[in-house]
Each structure stands twice: as structure tokens, then as C-alpha cells.
Amino acid sequence: MTNLISKIHNLYPTLDFEKSNLFYYSSSKNKIYYSDILTTKDKWSFLHEVGHALLNHKQYNSDFSLLKMEIEAWEKAKKIAKKFKINIAENHIQDCLDSYRDWIYKRSLCPVCKTSSFQDNLNNCYLCINCNTKWITNKSKLCRLYRKKLELKN
């Protein structure tokens, strides 16, 4: 791992790294956290987080803006990988993106009638196109999904 980190650091000297249990990028600390890189997929995950850092990804405003940031980070990771003669498998990228697509779909299900609905980007809540239920969800992808119904104002 240290070899890849040092190569990345030489190419992008402003990036900061710290060993962790997970691969992730913290925009608030402007730091890339990484775990032991034991497999090819670990390299891909690391490069993906480097992609987030280089793209200066911060907070996302909606579920779809998060998905867009994930797609952008994978595209950037592929470009970085080419510099090191690493090929990131497209099916791996799509599997990772599918986890976000599945997460978005679950969040979009109305808590009353289970119709898939849309998120209002202005106030980050969902509105059911079938029964007019309005709800918000928790942000985390790493914990159980919670949906809280809101009262509609006439």
C-alpha cells in the first residue's frame, strides 16, 4: 500500500492520507482514509477516494447529486488508474454504483403506499405522486433507513 500512496502523493502532493479501517474521503478534514490494500479491489477503492479528493467533493444536496458525485469519482479514478497501468473493471464500478441506486430507490418508497416517488431538491424531502405523503429520510448510507412523515401544508 505504501508504494501506491507514495506514487499518488508524488503525483498529487497536496493530498493527505491516514490509515483507517475503511476507505473514505473526508471533505471537512480534506483527508483520504484508507485501509490495508490487500486486493485489486482495495486499490480501486483507494483510487476512487482519491477521485473524490481531487474533484473537491463536499456536501451533496440531494440523493441524485450524491450519485452524480460517485459517478464522477469513478471516472476520475479510471483516469488516475491509467497513469499507473491499473485497469478498474467496469462491472465493479457498476456494482458500487448499484449500491447507491438501491439506496436511493429504498429512500424513494412512500412509507404509506410504497410507490416510488421523487425528492424535492429545494427542501430535501420526498413527495409521493400517488397518495401525497411527504417524508424525509436520514442521510447515512451505513445505517438503517428511517423515513419520517411530514404534515402537508395547504
150, pLDDT greater than 80: no
pLDDT (0 to 100) of residue 133 = 94
Range list of H helices, the chain? 2-11, 40-54, 63-83, 90-108
Amino acid at 36: D
Secondary structure letter of residue 152 according to DSSP: P
User: Which pLDDT tens digit goes with each residue over 28-72?
Assistant: 999 999 988 788 999 999 999 999 999 999 988 889 899 999 999
Task: Return the domain boundaries, the chain.
Answer: 2-108, 112-154
